[in-house]
Structure 1
């Protein structure tokens, strides 16, 4: 019979020292694999039950298809101070006489506008310095109005695919076609009857105050 010294010194083979010790490693590993499989399957079923989409379907999600045209629905009732900078490189301006024009001066006092949302996607634009409302007549002419009227002072604000905003008269249209706020290449307002959504002159960036 081997001596106690031989055991403690590790001189005997492993098979001899552990001949009667049961081996649980394969059973333990099998249990772990079964638990992992069950938890993975449950996670997939749970994700499907709450409406989660697999990553492979990301191409079908709206935000995976590029920037979409949309309105400022979340800004209903809120007010923003902005300078409307056109794609023709002019700031929208309303002077004390009610004349609408474009200016190159980004710090001009008459170009700071108060944009207030009155309903989903509909805004009212007012000059902070002059207190005049941006308005459009039925003929498509822009002017600064002392009095507020829903028909002429409300505009549909929409973000276009290029990131710029367009402002179309809510009340007026020409044969079903929207009439837009527009500043030409010389800073003069264009008639809403001639402005089109695709024109650079109708595209504006709402920029915060300096």
Structure 2
């Protein structure tokens, strides 16, 4: 070990000495090349300041649709389901009615669409959940990520009202629950 440490400074000195005698590369630049580079930099710097808004801006928000099951860990644990008759309930075992398409419509706002039933989850002004055949403002929900990595879904049309399931699997009225209650905590599962 001591012999290799003593040779290290000598090796570094040799590398430095050899590199000082190496010929430098010859650089030849034409005046036209410099002027074209300067004009290119000026043109690109102005486009950074004045960026045009294109039709594609925000499209990434509309394109990402997720197929998930929303699991609520209340009682014995329930998946939210949309039945073909428009009723929203919770069921312990996953089935075809529990598969939802979560589609963003704005930043932080999503719709929940039952794939089997073909109905949107919607919330009335009284806080009651129902299945809607047509898309409207009552179908929009704010998706909030909670500290425990669960999501809470607040009605965008009626702020302060949340989707919730009771410990027996029935839906709770949106005005009777708060995001601190575990009955409003949903885990999106594949």
Q: TM-score range by the shorter chain?
A: 0.5 to 0.7
The equivalent residue for 2:184 is 202
Pair 1:101 & 2:83 matched:
no
Q: Which of these residues, 121, 127, 148, is aligned with residue 162 of structure 1?
A: 148
Cα distance between partner residues in 1 of 2:60 and 2:185 = 20
Max radius of gyration: which structure?
1
The equivalent residue for 2:68 is 82
The equivalent residue for 1:190 is 172
The equivalent residue for 1:141 is 128
SS for the counterpart of 2:175 is coil
Cα 1:164/1:145, change in 2 over 3 Å: same
**Aligned residues, how many?**
138
TM-score by length of 2: 0.67
Pair 1:119 & 2:128 matched:
no
The equivalent residue for 1:110 is 97
Cα distance between partner residues in 1 of 2:80 and 2:97 = 8
Cα distance between partner residues in 2 of 1:105 and 1:74 = 35
Q: CA deviation at 1:147?
A: 1.1
Task: Name the Cα RMSD after superposition.
Answer: 2.4
Q: Retained in 2: the 8 A contact 1:75–1:120?
A: no
TM-score by length of 1: 0.61
Cα distance between partner residues in 1 of 2:163 and 2:127 = 9
Deviations 1:34-62 (A, max 9, x none): xxxxxxxxxxxxxxxxxxxxxxxxxxxxx
Deviations 1:65-111 (A, max 9, x none): xxxxxxxx9972110000000121100011011000000112x1100
Any stretches of 5+ residues in structure 2 without a counterpart?
A: 1-8, 17-57
The equivalent residue for 1:91 is 79
The equivalent residue for 1:54 is none
